[in-house]
Amino acid sequence: MTKRGDTNLGPDGYTRRQVMRGALAGGAALSLGGLAAACGGGSSSSSGGGGSGGGAGGGSIRIGSFADPAMVPFRDDFLPKFKDDTGITANYSETNYDAWYQNSKTDGLQKSGGYDIYVMDDNWVPEFAAGGIVQSLDQLGLKVNPDILEKGLDQGYWPPKTGPRLKDFANATPELFALVIIDDVQMLYYNKDYFSSPPATWDDVYNVAKTKSNPPKLYGWSPRGVAGNPIVQTYLPLLNAYGGNFANDDWSPGFNGPEGIAALERLFSFIPYMPSSIADYDTTEETALLLQGHCTALTEYTGTAHAVDDPQQSKVVDKIDFAATPKQEISGPAIGTFICGIASGAKNVDGAVKFLEWFTSDAVQKDFAGGGSAAVTGSALRDPTLGSKYRWLPAIADAVDNSIPKPRTPDEPKMEDLLGTALNQALVEAISKKSGYTDIAKSHLNTAAQQISDYLAQQGTY
Amino acid sequence: MAETATVQPRRARRVRLPAGPYLLLLPAAVALAGVSLYPLFYGVRASVTRYLYGRDYGYTGLDNYRHAFDDPFFRDALWTTAKFVVCTVTIETLLGLGLALLVSRELRFSGPIRVGLILPMTIAPVVVGVMWRLIYDSGVGVTDPLFQALGLSAPAMLSHNGTAFIAVVVVDVWEWTPLIFLILLAGLQSLPQEPLEAALVDGAGRVRLFFDHTLPLLTPVLLVAIVLRTIDSIGTFDQIYVLTKGGPGTATRLVSIHAYNTAFLFTQYGMAAAMLLAVLAAVALLMVVAVRMMRRAAR
Amino acid sequence: MSARVHRIGLYGGLALILLIVIFPFWWMVDTSLKHPVDIFGGVTLYPHNPTGDNYSRLFDTYHFGSYLVNSIVVVTISVVVSMTLGTLAAYSLARFPLRFGLNQSALVGSLIVRMIPGILLVIPLYITLARWGLLNTRLGLILIYTGLNTSFVIWMMQSFIAEIPRDIEEAAMVDGDSRLSALWRVVIPLAAPGLAATAIFSVIATYNDFLIALSLTSTPKAQTVPVGVSTLIGKIQIEFGPMAAAGVIGAIPIIIFALLVQRHFVRGLTLGAVK
């Protein structure tokens, strides 16, 4: 081997030139990117990729959303229709729910303007409105369709029109910050084969469970039992029906009194007629039980309605009917709409306003319901022709009218987590002990109440 | 000149400091700094900020740290994570070592065997979580029918606190033992052969060969594998989140899940940053110790 | 005789282990070929009523083709660059005594970079990429992943290189090689198993990264496979059929890569050449 020619040898036998060349070549691009980013220089530029039309009206708008089966008709059928009707192109992107929540929030807080419209889950409204992530639709002059069912519409107001308020917003006038586009609300799904008439009360459901169920072939009830948000959704229709509240008007917990305890005991009473592993059940398992024909009834949001008559997903085609969630004193389903806000940094505000007005107009909503979707206007949901084709539509309208909103605060998910963990552990205990339900319910509900009170006190805004 | 340079022991020389070794480090250092400096700065700043309505509401000193450590759920999560990491890393190391020793011999089909054994870690953790959910799930999975077929009662693993924990440990072991196996296999294949051959000639039995010769030589690589796996294990998130969401109750709620919920669900980004930085600091300390051990073992 | 029993035991044991290891994978393939109504319809080891629907929906409705391309491009470039940078740095740390205790602190430092939880990374990185217009771009992801991967490439390669005795390089340099060419001609081939292991690990870690890709991309223009898979997890429900199909398709590039690289685990080929 001959020596390399370079005379500039360091003591270890390599050449500085060689090393520098190689190292710099590799590091150049990264240094620039990394250093510059770390220094935070440069002008702000829009993010998001996929332009948003500028200026006053026309051009295009950018809508971002989380992926969900309910958004499929929206994306595939209605965005093109919007272009046909108004000439404005709606660019749509969707991603996983958790990611979209983060990204839309960061986009809004930074006012990056990557989107014009955020499709939101309704419990994001308090945070997005209070945090200035979405703009006030009232101040933008958006005209609200009066036919939109009121309780669905109310979800978009901040501060809320009814219910407890955060201290900082105690005296503010409610303004509309987000407009509902899908009325996702809880309903009772029941299998006609086992009910001689539509069940109206929890006693009705219980009696069928007791007399007709035959575990493990047929169960009388199927809930979501996973700790946190899922089991709270199971509990709310019960709690509301028994006259309790998630949070009272002064933010004190309303579920550890006699009403809340009775509601939880009612859930426990179904234990002999439910699978023993429900502490792990989420929507997928819960609805699978119904769709496979192994369950007489359950409460769930509207998302599963389509599946009941789809032979690729259901073995009980044409057998499932819908009603309001069962009463005890009242029927009180929880409501969780898909709701749209206009981004704080939106580039085409006029186009966005136009879109929201267009989508919630009577004609478009009727079209939307025409595909079986949970429209938001009374005329669409209660249309007799559509109702005979999709029997869940009128049930959705009734459910919305009866619905009870969840407490409006950015801390609501934390409250759900605390209550949901306690409920789950109560359920696990009740299933293993099979008795002493009252004490189990009392102790866990009190624990959750204490934890929630402590947390709210720590936050200092109640 | 060159001859003298190679014969002299390295440590004695102090005369001229060649820039070369530092230049070799430079591009990597730039890459690492670029991706970590701002996030660390941002995280530290967030941890001393109060977040209200999801946004920055001003300096709040060490309140976030205090609230985090007062939070029984956080302390719970720390304990659960510690249990999880110790169980998984121990089992994975032992299994991985055993498999590597087995496969490093002359075997037929060693190629397909190797690929088969690393299959679990090729699947995205999110998908792993979903698939194991389908296996464990009491309504639709194979676990319960399997137990019943064997005459045992159906465990319904995900609906009881204790068994859910075991369930997630099993998933992690299934998924990551292949990594340890891979690293140790590479390590074994790179070992210099003469010491081992000499020992065999001297009549050493297989077990003695392993403990007296192979293991000491393998220790640096072994420590690398353990350290890497420990770090990743602490941050386990995707598969558990999909499998149990941290439940039932808080049985499988690792720090990563609790921090994730705190940051993104409960809008308390500052508190989450405090939690994660506290854990990061503790683990960094452990790592310093581990690196010292490694250096000593390499000598 | 006992050697034979021994061998049967060995292969039998391996077969059993392989069975356990591969079963969930088979379960995933099985699920991917079933209709939703069959997935929940009871336990069957093979699909009685197979359907390609999940796969076709994956590519039509869910843009999986784009996700695959993005993943492959991003992973390839970032792994190649990070392996280069990292191996050079690892070589330096393994062979030279450096000032300021860098040999140890650089290792710890790179490990700390790896330890930063994704949750702490995503928001600042989002802000950074947004400032540079790199959100939802492959380049943005490449830059980030290169930085993150370099950390464990250094960590892993450092120990593999340290395992190789110095005499071999020094022999080559006595023969006239410069240090860098000794590195290239002698050390690298000897470190092949280590490089292969590091490469596989890098590829898998980058390919399967979820949180970062999730936060920094928003359309199929740049979204990667794990992000694509996650869109199948709806607000309250998981689409098991397409998810399983996604898992199968998603694993294929990695398996191909592993098949290509695994031959470097064979010892002897490399040592022999140098001797």
Of the partner residues C21, C27, C267, the one whose CB lies closest to the CB of residue B131:
C27
pTM for the model: 0.83
How does the average pLDDT of chain A come out, rounded? 86
Residue whose tokens read 């996929």: A50
**Are C221 and C87 members of one domain?**
yes
Q: Do B156 and A276 touch (CB under 8 A)?
A: yes
B281 CB near a chain C CB, below 8 Å?
no
Residues C231 and A94 sit within 8 Å (Cβ to Cβ): yes
Looking at CA atoms only, how far is residue C136 from chain A in angstroms? 6
Question: Which positions in chain C touch A288 (Cβ < 8 Å)?
Answer: 40
Q: Do B159 and A126 touch (CB under 8 A)?
A: no
Looking at CA atoms only, how far is residue A436 from chain C in angstroms? 32
Tokens linked to A132: 């200035």
C210 CB near a chain A CB, below 8 Å?
no
Q: Chain C window 15-44: which residues touch A at a Cβ cutoff of 8 Å?
A: 35-37, 40-41
Tokens linked to B51: 């977040």
Locate the chain C residue with the closest alpha carbon to A311.
C37
**Are C131 and C204 members of one domain?**
yes
The predicted pLDDT at position B86 comes to 95
B170 CB near a chain C CB, below 8 Å?
no
DSSP A350-391: HHHHHHHHHHTSHHHHHHHHTTT---SBHHHHT-HHHHHHST
- Count of Cβ atoms closer than 10 Å to residue A119 Cβ: 24
**Are C27 and C60 members of one domain?**
no
Measure the CA dihedral B246/B247/B250/B253, to 10°: -10
Q: Do C132 and A36 touch (CB under 8 A)?
A: yes
**Are C104 and C240 members of one domain?**
yes
Tokens linked to A19: 């090393």
The predicted pLDDT at position B299 comes to 63
Question: Which positions in chain C touch B142 (Cβ < 8 Å)?
Answer: 27, 43
d(C-alpha C89, C-alpha B29), whole Å: 8
The predicted pLDDT at position B239 comes to 87
Question: Which positions in chain B touch A31 (Cβ < 8 Å)?
Answer: 27, 30, 34
Q: Do A44 and C130 touch (CB under 8 A)?
A: yes
**Are C93 and C125 members of one domain?**
yes
**Are C71 and C205 members of one domain?**
yes
**Are C28 and C87 members of one domain?**
no
CATH architecture, domain defined by A60-184+336-402: 3-Layer(aba) Sandwich (3.40)
Q: Do A42 and C131 touch (CB under 8 A)?
A: yes
The predicted pLDDT at position C234 comes to 66
Q: Do C102 and B25 touch (CB under 8 A)?
A: yes
Residues A76 and A104 sit within 8 Å (Cβ to Cβ): no
Of C35, C50, C65, the residue that ends a domain is C50
Query: What total of structural domains would you count in chain C?
Result: 2
φ, ψ dihedrals at B51, nearest 5°: -110, 125
Q: Choose from B123, B229, B271, B275 for mutation: most chain C CBs within 10 A.
A: B123
A11 CB near a chain C CB, below 8 Å?
no
d(C-alpha A140, C-alpha A350), whole Å: 8
What value of ipTM does the predicted structure carry? 0.81
Question: Which positions in chain A touch B249 (Cβ < 8 Å)?
Answer: 227, 421, 424-425, 428
Q: Choose from B17, B32, B55 for mutation: most chain A CBs within 10 A.
A: B55
Burial of C19 (0-12, 13-18, 19+ CB in 10 A): exposed
The predicted pLDDT at position B204 comes to 66
Q: Chain B window 6-65: which residues touch C at a Cβ cutoff of 8 Å?
A: 6, 10-11, 17, 20-22, 24-25, 27-29, 31-32, 34-36, 38-43
Touching partners of C (3+ C-beta pairs < 8 Å)? A, B
Question: Which positions in chain B touch C83 (Cβ < 8 Å)?
Answer: none
The predicted pLDDT at position C236 comes to 61
Locate the chain A residue with the closest alpha carbon to C53.
A312
Q: Do B126 and C201 touch (CB under 8 A)?
A: no
Locate the chain B residue with the closest alpha carbon to C262.
B111
**Are C123 and C99 members of one domain?**
yes
CATH number at residue C188: 1.10.3720.10
Q: Is A257 left (phi over 0), alpha (psi -120 to 50) or beta?
A: beta
**Are C207 and C258 members of one domain?**
yes
In the predicted structure, residue A53 carries a pLDDT above the cut 50: no
Q: Do A285 and B137 touch (CB under 8 A)?
A: yes
d(C-alpha A13, C-alpha A222), whole Å: 75
Q: Do A288 and B139 touch (CB under 8 A)?
A: yes
C108 CB near a chain B CB, below 8 Å?
yes
Going by DSSP bridges, is the β-strand pair A89-95/A60-66 parallel, antiparallel, or unpaired?
Answer: parallel
C225 CB near a chain B CB, below 8 Å?
yes
Of the partner residues A36, A44, A95, the one whose CB lies closest to the CB of residue C231:
A95
d(C-alpha A202, C-alpha B153), whole Å: 33
Question: Which positions in chain A touch C84 (Cβ < 8 Å)?
Answer: 26
Question: For chain A, which residues make up each domain, given as ranges?
Answer: 60-184+336-402, 187-334+408-459
Q: Do B248 and A131 touch (CB under 8 A)?
A: no
What is the separation, in whole angstroms, between the first and last Cα of chain A?
81
Residues A429 and A248 sit within 8 Å (Cβ to Cβ): no
Tokens linked to B288: 């310093």
Residue whose tokens read 């105690």: A170
> How confident is residue A301, by pLDDT bands cut at 50, 70 and 90?
very high
d(C-alpha C72, C-alpha B198), whole Å: 46
The predicted pLDDT at position A36 comes to 38
φ, ψ dihedrals at A218, nearest 5°: -140, 125
Handedness of CA A435, A439, A443, A449 (dihedral sign): positive
pLDDT digits (tens, 9 = 90+) for A14-49: 334 443 443 444 444 444 433 333 333 323 333 333
Q: Do C21 and B116 touch (CB under 8 A)?
A: yes
Residues B89 and B180 sit within 8 Å (Cβ to Cβ): no
Mean pLDDT of A220-245: 94
d(C-alpha A423, C-alpha A428), whole Å: 9
Per-residue pLDDT of chain C (275 residues; tens, 9 = 90+): 577 787 788 888 888 888 888 888 888 888 889 887 787 777 777 778 888 888 988 888 778 899 999 999 999 999 999 999 999 999 888 888 888 877 888 888 888 888 898 889 988 998 889 888 898 899 999 999 999 999 989 988 888 888 788 888 788 888 877 777 777 888 888 888 888 888 888 898 899 898 899 888 888 889 998 888 877 776 566 777 888 888 888 888 888 887 787 766 554 333 333 32
Residues A108 and A118 sit within 8 Å (Cβ to Cβ): yes
Strands, sheet with A320-323, edge to edge from the N-terminal-most edge strand: A297-300, A187-191, A320-323
Locate the chain C residue with the closest alpha carbon to A97.
C235
d(C-alpha A298, C-alpha A322), whole Å: 10
Of the partner residues A38, A69, A96, the one whose CB lies closest to the CB of residue C214:
A96
d(C-alpha C127, C-alpha A37), whole Å: 9
SS (H, E, C) chain C: CHHHHHHHHHHHHHHHHHHHHHHHHHHHHHHHCCCHHHHCCCCCCCCCCCCCHHHHHHHHCCCHHHHHHHHHHHHHHHHHHHHHHHHHHHHHHHHCCCHHHHHHHHHHHHHHHHHCCHHHHHHHHHHHHHHCCCCCCHHHHHHHHHHHHHHHHHHHHHHHHHHCCHHHHHHHHHCCCCHHHHHHHHHHHHCHHHHHHHHHHHHHHHHCCCHHHHHHCCCCCCCCHHHHHHCCECCCCECHHHHHHHHHHHHHHHHHHHHHHHHHHCCCHHHHHHC
Residues C158 and C107 sit within 8 Å (Cβ to Cβ): yes
DSSP A294-339: -BSEEEE-GGGGGGGG-TTT-SSTTTEEEEPPPBSSS---BB--EE
Residue whose tokens read 């109206």: A200
Q: Chain C window 48-77: which residues touch A at a Cβ cutoff of 8 Å?
A: 53
Interior angle at CA B53, CA B279 and CA B56, nearest 5: 60
d(C-alpha B114, C-alpha B100), whole Å: 9
d(C-alpha B86, C-alpha B135), whole Å: 25
d(C-alpha A242, C-alpha B47), whole Å: 42
Name beta bridge partners: B271: none
In the predicted structure, residue A142 carries a pLDDT above the cut 90: yes
**If you count them, how many residues does chain C have?**
275
- Count of Cβ atoms closer than 10 Å to residue A414 Cβ: 21
Q: Do B190 and C190 touch (CB under 8 A)?
A: yes
d(C-alpha A18, C-alpha A5), whole Å: 12
Find, among C126, B159, B107, B120, the residue nearest to A277 by Cα. B159
Residues of chain C above pLDDT 70, percent: 93
Tokens linked to A126: 């308090």
Contacts A–B by Cβ distance under 8 A = 155
Residue whose tokens read 């530290």: B44
Candidate from A301-305, A376-380, B144-148, B229-233 with smallest mean pLDDT:
B144-148
CATH fold label, B72-266:
MetI-like fold (1.10.3720)
Omega of the bond leading into A174 within 30 degrees of 0 (cis) = no
d(C-alpha C23, C-alpha B135), whole Å: 10
The predicted pLDDT at position A234 comes to 95
The predicted pLDDT at position A129 comes to 94
Under DSSP, the state recorded for A141 is T
Looking at CA atoms only, how far is residue A207 from chain B in angstroms? 24
**Are C84 and C188 members of one domain?**
yes
**Are C107 and C27 members of one domain?**
no
The predicted pLDDT at position C146 comes to 95
Per-residue pLDDT of chain B (299 residues; tens, 9 = 90+): 444 444 445 554 444 556 778 888 889 999 999 999 999 999 999 999 998 887 888 888 899 999 999 999 999 999 999 999 999 999 999 999 988 888 877 677 777 787 788 888 888 888 888 888 878 877 667 888 888 888 888 788 888 888 999 999 999 999 999 889 888 888 887 777 777 777 777 776 777 777 777 888 888 788 888 888 898 899 899 889 888 888 788 899 999 999 989 988 888 889 999 999 999 998 888 878 877 777 776 66
Residues C202 and C76 sit within 8 Å (Cβ to Cβ): no
- Does C228 or A299 have the greater pLDDT score? A299
Question: For chain B, which residues make up each domain, given as ranges?
Answer: 72-266
Burial of A146 (0-12, 13-18, 19+ CB in 10 A): exposed
Q: Do A37 and B139 touch (CB under 8 A)?
A: no
Domain of residue C16, residue span? 2-50
The CATH number of the structural domain formed by A187-334+408-459 is 3.40.190.10
pLDDT digits (tens, 9 = 90+) for A166-208: 998 999 999 999 999 999 999 999 999 999 999 999 999 999 9
Interior angle at CA C30, CA C24 and CA C33, nearest 5: 145
Of the partner residues A36, A67, A312, the one whose CB lies closest to the CB of residue C35:
A312
In the predicted structure, residue A266 carries a pLDDT above the cut 50: yes
pLDDT digits (tens, 9 = 90+) for C46-93: 778 888 888 988 888 778 899 999 999 999 999 999 999 999 999 888
Of the partner residues C24, C143, C254, the one whose CB lies closest to the CB of residue B132:
C24
Q: Chain A window 288-327: which residues touch B at a Cβ cutoff of 8 Å?
A: 288-289
**Are C16 and C78 members of one domain?**
no
